[in-house]
Chain A
Amino acid sequence: MRVAEYIKCNRLYFDGGMGTMLQKAGLETGGLPEVYNIEHPDVVLDIHREYVKAGADVITANTFQASELKISSSGYTVEEIITAGVDLAKKSGAKYTAIDIGPLGQLMEPMGTMTFDEAYDVFKRQIVAGYKAGADIVLLETMSDLLEVKAAVLAVRENTDLPVFVTMTFQDDGRTFVGCDPKSAAITLSGLKVDALGVNCSLGPVELMSVIDELIKYSRVPVMVQPNAGLPSIENGNTVYTITADEFSDCMVKIAESGAAILGGCCGTTPEFISKMKRKTVDVPFILPEYERVTAVSSGTNTVIMDNGISVIGERINPTGKKKLKEKLREQDFGYLVGEALQQQKAGADILDVNCGLPEIDEAKTLANAVKEIQAAVNTPLQLDSSDRTAIEAGIRKYNGKPIINSVNGKQESMDDVFPIAQKYGAVVIGLCLDEGGIPETAEGRYKIAERIVKEAEKYDIPKEDIIIDCLVLTASAQQSLVIETINAIKLVKSRLGVKTVLGVSNVSFGLPARPILNSVFLSASFGAGLDSAIINPMSEEVMQSVRAFKVINNQDRDAVEYIENYSGYKTVSGSVNKNEGSGDVKAADVSGGDLKSMIIDGRKELVGTKTREMLKNTDPVSIIDGEFIPALDVVGERYEKGTVFLPQLIQSAEAVKSGFEVIKETMPKNSSGSDGSGKGKIVLATVEGDIHDIGKNIVRMLLENYGYDVIDLGKDVPIDKVVEAAVSNNVKLVGLSALMTTTVKNMKDTITALRSAGSNAKVVVGGAVLNEEYVEFVGADYYGRDARATVKVANEIFNNA
């Protein structure tokens, strides 16, 4: 029987630890265990055979770190090591053999340097080698990062027909090293349709109980458990494990009873552990527990269960009608999107909609990059919003977790496009109640479409809890009599279909005054009809008031904690409503006396914006920049050079100028290049390939921008050709490069060499902790930028702005 069928009705037993046994057999610390497959095959085979004798159904090949990243130094290829390893596992006489794949040992972008596609390729090579060697199962184990796992699972699915089992490693705080919790793992991996999911390593069976319970509760597939032999502890400078085979096997009985279907051991376990575990659990009746049928979306570290109450989906990352966002998308500057995401999260959004649809840009590429940057900054799950199926697929492929897809509709073509993507990657899908005939006028008509969408989804094995219906809002100023039909449709969809619902409310008030009033009342009415989630602007206080109030009414905000936190200082002031006293805005009167220069010198960020706005009434922007900003920064810069102020004070003044610039940018008409019009010159900045320390470079960027330069910031770990391309295509006169490690100074040199040979005439200024004047010559640069201030001086010299 194939293993995928076998586990549906039988408990499956894996083997136990390999590393500790190899060390007993002579493997030196830090040595590559996988080399034993070729150099000491008998040792490996003996261990496998002992586990078969102990009762293991599956033997895990000795291939844990046989990736090209880890074994390149061994003198053997990935294929040689894996083929030998799988052969030994098969030779042991086991019922099934698994190719074993551990984490790559590199963090994924943007926290680390590993790209999704690189991870995919590395895994693919291992997986294909194991497949060709005849393994029955791909086991991905000791995993921390769901995104890395996703790359591996897709590599299995797209290159083999093998079943894939995934176990994650949770620490004593109930999370993996990168912050993944069991709920998010169970929901995301179930969505990816792995064949089994679970937990291994790090902790013993006792400590893992709560993690296992959580996995069983939310997993749609069998749960696998391979604990260590208790907690590791350091004794005499060596790691030892603390429980006996008897204690271990007793705990495993409880774990089997709770519904774990696949059992085995990890570090510190031996054939004795497996043998005792099997003997004691073999008579425990086999059950596959019912999982919770909830509508859940996850990021890599956080899950929102929509059955627990109403959810807010933040709508602000959508370029429609937003000039600044459009501009940032065109420039591929994702820092702004990240800022919007952080703000919405802080304001109370549970989920964030991300839409990058602009006709003049590559939407698929942009959405994928936006997803990458935003998901590294916030922990709210994302909702991928596009009408283009390629964009949806590009985004979801690199999404860490289980997202919402926005959206599908009742047209057959739309469902044919979107459902296969949701099926493959796992997603909750928003279904819009419209079809070829448009939006039906009646609630009954919209319900019919919702029903069709849910039925069609079933064909793809997408259960109804993974569908959210949007009954669609019509505009009160145009079709007033139909507005109530939306509310009626929500009731029908909830009662007859039992699926979740969502609405984007702001359409209702289009063309009418005081839109927030209408929006929030309509939202309240919809919540009353059973609406589960709303796509709204969480920065809009009126709308959030309705949300927070309703959360008290439906008993979601227990003890009204959130409500009290937000409104304890609530006051109604002469017709206008204020959330709390003392907001950050400073009244113009407060700053009229002071002068802008000293505000900047003193780093009074909160005053500078207001003062700049006031001055703009009768001063042109260029005069403010040249007559106030820059002279003030020069004063602080000189003090910094003399050592009378230190870096935080320089940054403080720079932040102050930044807030002044933001006011200028808001009020100034854009010129064609999208710059703020100060036009001091264009500079490319990058932290070189291989280097990811970039806070220094970011401080330099801020100060350069303060002086009116257009900075094209390529970020960190920037490939050489990207620097060259940016410098040449923008024809810049100055390139700034930073490196913080002796190991990456070479990449700096190579980048500069490549710039020169590409014919760029740009001057190059370099900086970073390990650099000094002498390095300037070594790397072939023109200037040394010791700090942000020095770099500004270099720029001023080159652009004659001194």
Chain B
Amino acid sequence: MALQLTINGISIGAIYALIAVGFAVVFNIMRFSNFAHGGMISACAFISFFFQRAFDPPPPFFVTVLFSAVCGMGIALLIDTLGYRRIRLKNSPKIYYFLMSLTFAILIEQILTVFFGTDIYGFPSVFKSQTFEIGSMIFKTMNIVILAVSVVILVALVWMINKTKIGLAIRAVAINADTSRLMGINSSVIVTVIFIIAGVLAGVSGVFLGVQYGVFPSVGPSMMLKGFIASIIGGLGSLSGAIFAALALGLIEMFLTFFIGATEATVILFGIMLAFLFIRPQGIMGIIVEDKA
């Protein structure tokens, strides 16, 4: 049973990780919590659902994932252009980014509600068999796919940040945007890249959440909470910290729910987040962020 719980915990943790990294990657550069990420996930869940339904037979699943990722990228750039860019150009306080992100989060959810209602849309089954067994353990096919894709994406992202020139530029801007600019780094391009990455992650998360839990306007925001907790525990802005914390969160949640119940588990998870904010506000791997919103 413990092994089964561990596998389930890592699987749900992988979804949290995708969300937490999308959250952390923006915080890393922009120094604000991008709550619009949840709305982007919901929008991508709907887009992928209707894309999948538009074809008979439906396209291969990876095509839907790619399409959703591209759409997520577009939505993220649109939000940046319509909202954040203006704040950036005016050099406004960080609180405006925070307010703008909240506004977009609510706006997207409400637009989806107006057009599609609050009803749940069942994503067509992707696999013929929902589960497979190895020994006495049952594996959910989609969980394994999510885990595999998440690992690939997150490894690729960490490699890009740490081993490529653009990654170096991102890290430089994250440390000090003004100094980076003096050293010839175009910070506007870096911000665009960051939103592209966040959009792709939202697109992929949207498909996976839609397949796992159904498609409805609040599917993204409802999962954002866990992603946010993971990014706090991991250290705001730290990608590796967010991944580690998200996986740990999935595992802790799974075991706590199994042994003491779902209601108590939620209380304890928030307690852990509070404890980190008191004892180690920089999180597991983060640095203390002074100017944040």
Do A and B originate from a single complex?
Answer: no
Binding site for A on B (CB under 8 A): none
